[in-house]
């Protein structure tokens, strides 16, 4: 096993012990931290993200400075647009790997949208790319 993966601790996250909070990257989403950031000392992050009903995305183009970002939709639907790839509607069961630095935006989503996002590292910089 490489040194990269040795600095991890055991963790379990239960829905009734880790509430959704509204202080994440986007105001129109709420975030539930799954404890992976702490257990991997920021090497990886995992969150359940859900839509705030009645709030729309402003559709701002942006990029993330990270090495890995995967999104898996567990409920509802969301439309992302990726530079060079066009618009894609992800629905329950859809998964997308967003390569590092890809210019993208969240265009619209259902009020019941919920997804899991896994990133590396857990904390990363987001830059507007309008």
Q: Could you tell me the mean pLDDT of each successive run of 10 residues in the chain, 130 residues long?
A: 77 86 71 94 95 84 96 97 97 97 94 97 89
pLDDT at 23: 67
Q: Please tell me the distance from the alpha carbon of residue 37 to that of residue 11, in angstroms, as a whole number.
A: 10
Instruction: Return the structure tokens found at 48.
Output: 């359940």
The one-character DSSP state at 5 is G
- Contact 47/117 with Cβ under 8 angstroms? yes
User: What domains, with CATH codes, occur in the chain?
Assistant: 20-124 (2.60.120.10)
């Amino acid at each position: 096993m490489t040194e990269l993966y040795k600095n991890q601790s055991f963790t379990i996250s239960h829905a009734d012990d880790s509430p959704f909070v509204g202080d994440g990257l986007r105001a129109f989403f709420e975030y539930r931290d799954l404890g992976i950031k702490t257990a991997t000392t920021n090497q990886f992050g995992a969150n359940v993200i859900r839509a705030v009903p009645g709030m729309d995305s402003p559709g701002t183009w942006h990029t993330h400075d990270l090495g890995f970002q995967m999104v898996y939709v567990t409920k509802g639907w969301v439309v992302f647009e990726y530079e060079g790839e066009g618009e894609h509607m992800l629905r329950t069961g859809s998964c997308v790997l967003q390569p590092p630095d890809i210019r993208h935006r969240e265009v619209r989503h259902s009020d019941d949208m919920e997804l899991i996002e896994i990133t590396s590292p857990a904390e990363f910089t987001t830059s507007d790319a309008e």
